[in-house]
Chain A
Amino acid sequence: MNRAWLLARRRILSSIPVLLIVVIGTFFLLEMASGDAVDAYLVTLGGDAGLAQSLRERYGLDQSALARLWLYAGSLARLDLGFSVAFNRPILDLILERLPNTLWLMGSAIAMAFTFGTLFGIVAGARPGSAADRALSIGSLALYAVPSFWLGLVLSLVFAVQLRWFPTAGIETIASGKTGFARALDIARHLVLPVSALGFIYLALFLRMMRAGMAEVWRQDFVLAARAKGLARRRIVLRHVARNALLPLVTMLGLQAATMLGGSVVIESVFAIPGFGRLAHEAVAARDAPLLMGIIVVSAVLVIVVNLLVDLAYAWLDPRVGSGEASS
């Protein structure tokens, strides 16, 4: 456990400068936008030049960019992400309200993709070159090339519009009054299609990685040693080959967290899920730069946290981590 703690501390420390760069970079990126939050405010709510002036003074928008960056960083440190003009609410509230939906969506998509990806990957990798292997690798390659938002449309066309098995949009039935288990079931039904649309590409990715990883592990000496012990084939495949091939997949899980979060922007728009990703789209549409900024910073934090969790999982799965002989 000590090992995990050391690892976590090192990771957290090293992510501080990274987060700082994200904040600075995003700040200057959005600085390039024409007009500031006050302009956006005036456009939506109306007001004269005098109001604009006083608002700018109040939010420090009349100061130099560096001074404002300093102000922004200061308020970030107090967990204050600022105020969204478009939604007329504190940005942090807005994000915290939207985040759970996205976490459910992403979490389910990752769980689905990882479970089925590894399972099918094991089936394919257990006998390289077999018919099952060929079918699965061709299928996964095709799936891997499908854009998630288009897959979402096709899935909703078939399963929601035509077959009516699942609802077309939203995260739950509005004003249904459902509670407890019934509500969970309702949400699950709403999530099936978006989770599939978001997760299938990763399912294909994990399948392909698992298969390739197993092909690699089959050539290792310890697999021959395991065969020389006369173990059952099942045990060799699962305990020796798949167990080792799983490790790079876990690393991939962390790397894909950012991509998946990006993917949720489109999927949430397709399925009208009021989540974090859709919020990003809405922020862009409303030209709400501070909101967009807050979204980017929070997503970076989220990705860092997921990576930390993945690192801990990896350390748990690979006893070599932290002993100076970790495999690269």
Chain B
Amino acid sequence: MTTTLATLRGLSVSYRREGAQTFALRDVDLDIATGGRLAIIGESGSGKSTLALALAGLLPPEASLAGTIDWPGLDHVPVAGRDIGMVFQDPGSSLNPVLTIGEQVSEGAVRHLRLGRATARQRALDLLARVRIPQPQAALAAYPHQFSGGQRQRIAIACAIAASPRLLIADEATSALDMIVQAEITELLDTLVREDGMSLVFITHDIALAAKLADRIAVFRDATLVEVGPARQVLARPSQDYTRSLIATHIDFSAPRLIDERA
């Protein structure tokens, strides 16, 4: 029996820039199940990141939102960081270059769980161990530039789950990484979500990844939700031409690409 964590009804988001208004999301109806794993796919500019920001309440001031987001699965309005953790695309820039890893991993927990100095440190240590950073003790005092891209993304994930959120949103968390690291991060996300019983919203361009990780898939195009359904069904029997073409192009591209890259 699944309960619903969040329901989006008639959600529209528009950005105002230099007087002109552009819609990044238009009239979206979507449910996020508690403990579910929702993949969001769609081409660049289709509004995926906007959806993530709207869920977390992090839309910039130039954005205006219409419609509703309700949280029947929570007994309060969610707070970013405490109830929702976010992981972003570029691990190179989503960590503050001049603060120690220890401070950055623990600051969310310090804020939301009201931890003291020592407990915060212990918490950061545990988190770094959980995301499998080698020598977490030494990592506490280190800075982002001393880690590889994959390790930085693990650290960013540790930051995101520091306050044990109910929902984890990963916005193209693996796109900036190379193949092997991508697989590792995917596996890590899978493990963490399973162990903590978190819900996951996973934004990606990569349909194969969506198929692997998600139980439901939502397809976006030009600010609108094209189709949504169980992963197996969307992939095997897409109801929309657009989804079909997405799946087709993915297959077209993935086969020869490996060869191309070596040439």
Q: Are A and B in direct contact (Cβ within 8 Å)?
A: yes
B107, A229: Cβ atoms under 8 Å?
A: yes
B145, A228: Cβ atoms under 8 Å?
A: no
Residues of the A chain whose Cβ atoms lie less than 8 Å from the Cβ of B99: 239-240, 243
B145, A222: Cβ atoms under 8 Å?
A: no
Residues of the A chain whose Cβ atoms lie less than 8 Å from the Cβ of B90: 221
A244, B81: Cβ atoms under 8 Å?
A: no
Using A227-B58, A319-B143 as known contacts, say yes or no to A244 and B159 having CB atoms under 8 A apart: no
A227, B156: Cβ atoms under 8 Å?
A: no
A225, B159: Cβ atoms under 8 Å?
A: yes
Residues of the A chain whose Cβ atoms lie less than 8 Å from the Cβ of B84: 228
B145, A320: Cβ atoms under 8 Å?
A: yes
Nearest-Cβ distance from residue B12 to partner chain A, whole angstroms: 22
Using A230-B81, A235-B107, A320-B143 as known contacts, say yes or no to A225 and B98 having CB atoms under 8 A apart: no
Number of residue pairs spanning A and B whose beta carbons lie under 8 angstroms apart: 83
Nearest-Cβ distance from residue B113 to partner chain A, whole angstroms: 11
Closest Cβ neighbor of A232 among chain B residues:
B111
Q: Decide yes or no whether B80 CB sits under 8 A from chain A.
A: yes
B79, A319: Cβ atoms under 8 Å?
A: no
A226, B98: Cβ atoms under 8 Å?
A: no
Cα separation A228 to B157 with both chains bound (whole Å): 12
Cα separation A224 to B85 with both chains bound (whole Å): 12
Residues of the A chain whose Cβ atoms lie less than 8 Å from the Cβ of B95: 222, 225
Q: Decide yes or no whether A55 CB sits under 8 A from chain B.
A: no
B96, A231: Cβ atoms under 8 Å?
A: no
Residue in contact with A229 in the complex, picked from B93, B111, B143, B146, CB distance below 8 Å: B111
Cα separation A325 to B98 with both chains bound (whole Å): 12
Cα separation A181 to B146 with both chains bound (whole Å): 49
Residues of chain A from 240 to 261 with CB closer than 8 A to chain B in the complex = 240, 243-244, 247
Residues of the B chain whose Cβ atoms lie less than 8 Å from the Cβ of A235: 107, 111
Q: Decide yes or no whether A14 CB sits under 8 A from chain B.
A: no
Residues of the A chain whose Cβ atoms lie less than 8 Å from the Cβ of B96: 222, 225-226, 240, 243-244
Cα separation A327 to B163 with both chains bound (whole Å): 31
Residues of the B chain whose Cβ atoms lie less than 8 Å from the Cβ of A319: 97-98, 143, 145
Q: Decide yes or no whether B194 CB sits under 8 A from chain A.
A: no
Q: Decide yes or no whether B88 CB sits under 8 A from chain A.
A: yes
Using A221-B93, A240-B96, A243-B98 as known contacts, say yes or no to A323 and B145 having CB atoms under 8 A apart: yes
Q: Interface 1/0s, chain B 16-46, versus A by CB < 8 A?
A: 0000000000000000000000000000000
Q: Interface 1/0s, chain A 202-241, versus B by CB < 8 A?
A: 0000000000000000001110111111111001000110
Residues of the A chain whose Cβ atoms lie less than 8 Å from the Cβ of B201: none
Cα separation A228 to B56 with both chains bound (whole Å): 7
Q: Decide yes or no whether B212 CB sits under 8 A from chain A.
A: no
Q: Interface 1/0s, chain A 314-328, versus B by CB < 8 A?
A: 000111100101010
B80, A229: Cβ atoms under 8 Å?
A: yes
A225, B88: Cβ atoms under 8 Å?
A: yes
Q: Decide yes or no whether B47 CB sits under 8 A from chain A.
A: no
Which interface class (under 10, 10 to 19, 20 to 34, 35 or more) fits B?
Answer: 20 to 34
Q: Interface 1/0s, chain A 298-328, versus B by CB < 8 A?
A: 0000000000000000000111100101010
Q: Decide yes or no whether B150 CB sits under 8 A from chain A.
A: no
Cα separation A318 to B80 with both chains bound (whole Å): 29
Cα separation A318 to B144 with both chains bound (whole Å): 12
Q: Decide yes or no whether B162 CB sits under 8 A from chain A.
A: yes
Nearest-Cβ distance from residue B81 to partner chain A, whole angstroms: 3
Cα separation A147 to B152 with both chains bound (whole Å): 49
Residues of the A chain whose Cβ atoms lie less than 8 Å from the Cβ of B145: 319-320, 323, 325
B80, A230: Cβ atoms under 8 Å?
A: yes
Nearest-Cβ distance from residue B73 to partner chain A, whole angstroms: 18
Residue in contact with B94 in the complex, picked from A221, A244, A318, A327, CB distance below 8 Å: A221
Residues of the A chain whose Cβ atoms lie less than 8 Å from the Cβ of B160: 228-229
Most buried by B among A220, A226, A235: A226
Nearest-Cβ distance from residue B138 to partner chain A, whole angstroms: 14
B111, A230: Cβ atoms under 8 Å?
A: yes
Using A220-B93, A319-B145, A325-B145 as known contacts, say yes or no to A229 and B98 having CB atoms under 8 A apart: no
Closest Cβ neighbor of B162 among chain A residues:
A229
Cα separation A254 to B88 with both chains bound (whole Å): 36
Residues of chain B from 74 to 102 with CB closer than 8 A to chain A in the complex = 79-82, 84-86, 88, 90, 93-99
Q: Decide yes or no whether B108 CB sits under 8 A from chain A.
A: yes
B81, A228: Cβ atoms under 8 Å?
A: yes
B98, A231: Cβ atoms under 8 Å?
A: no
Q: Decide yes or no whether B112 CB sits under 8 A from chain A.
A: yes
Nearest-Cβ distance from residue B139 to partner chain A, whole angstroms: 13
A320, B80: Cβ atoms under 8 Å?
A: no
B80, A317: Cβ atoms under 8 Å?
A: no
B143, A228: Cβ atoms under 8 Å?
A: no
* Chain B positions near chain A (C-beta within 8 angstroms): 56, 58, 79-82, 84-86, 88, 90, 93-99, 107-108, 111-112, 143, 145-146, 156, 159-160, 162-163
- Please give me the 6 A-B residue pairs with the lowest Cβ-Cβ distance, nearest first: A230-B81, A229-B108, A228-B86, A221-B93, A319-B143, A229-B81
Given contacts A221-B94, A230-B80, 10 further A-B contacts (CB under 8 A): A222-B95, A225-B86, A225-B95, A228-B86, A229-B107, A229-B111, A229-B163, A230-B108, A231-B107, A244-B96
List 28 A–B pairs whose Cβ atoms lie within 8 Å, in order of A's numbering: A220-B93, A221-B88, A222-B94, A222-B96, A222-B97, A224-B88, A224-B94, A225-B88, A226-B107, A228-B56, A228-B80, A228-B85, A228-B86, A228-B160, A229-B81, A229-B107, A229-B159, A229-B160, A230-B108, A231-B111, A240-B96, A243-B98, A244-B97, A244-B98, A319-B97, A319-B143, A319-B145, A323-B145
